[in-house]
Amino acid sequence: MTETFGADFLVRWLAAVAEAVDREADRLTELDSAIGDADHGANLTRGFAAVTETLAKEPPATPGAVLTSAGRQLISTVGGASGPLYGTLLRRTGKTLGDGDRVTREQLAEALGSGVAAVSQLGGAQVGDKTMLDALVPAVQGLRKSFAAARAAAEEGALATVPLRARKGRASYLGERSVGHQDPGATSSALLFAALDETALAEAGRTEGAS
């Protein structure tokens, strides 16, 4: 039987993202201080904390509504580039999921693919430009196989940004000096998929415990 996931699973995922971002905020800011504005950790921590608070107050009824609400919250809360980019990712993913009560992993992967395409269109970036897309694109491909594959692909994608020269975003102004630094956006994107994998593992444990 194909496993499906409800709105509560998506809420737990985003809460796990908030915890991960808060835990790794200093590292994200350190990476961003080398090639950006040194605010990536603080901005994402504030944004995902607001997402968690909003979802706790008014839990949406469907997976799509959870992600659409989270995306709107990030766009309205987070300054810099990361708010619009992550907000667009989640909002487009939510809209693509529609109003079904439950989703499969494959449906989530497909919807995230549309969200990643929207991010690419918004920022004008492609894989290889040393941006969050270097983690997001392989992660979505991995998610078609498994949650663990998505996590591994995102983490590998983030590491692969180190030798790249930035061609988009603030880091692109540094030219060759951007080489040798891991992209903070790709790093935070990898946290998203690590949290998704951990949430799926916890869900599997809950299901086994209930059976």
In this prediction, residue 36 has a pLDDT band, given cuts at 50, 70 and 90, of confident
Closest to 180 measured CA to CA, from 18, 34, 16, 15: 34
Q: How far apart are CA 178 and CA 155, in angstroms?
A: 19
pLDDT for 1 equals: 66
Q: What is the mean pLDDT of residues 174-193?
A: 83
pLDDT for 189 equals: 98
pLDDT for 171 equals: 63
Instruction: Identify the three-state secondary structure at position 132.
Output: coil
pLDDT for 181 equals: 82
Q: Which two tokens stand for residue 182?
A: 């891991």
Q: How far apart are CA 6 and CA 8, in angstroms?
A: 5
Q: What DSSP assignment string belongs to 62-108?
A: SHHHHHHHHHHHHHHH--TTHHHHHHHHHHHHHHHHTT-S-EEHHHH
Q: What is the mean pLDDT of residues 95-101?
A: 97
Q: Which H, E and C letters describe 149-180, residue by residue?
A: HHHHHHHHHHHCCCCCCCCCCHHHHHHHHHCC
In this prediction, residue 208 has a pLDDT band, given cuts at 50, 70 and 90, of low
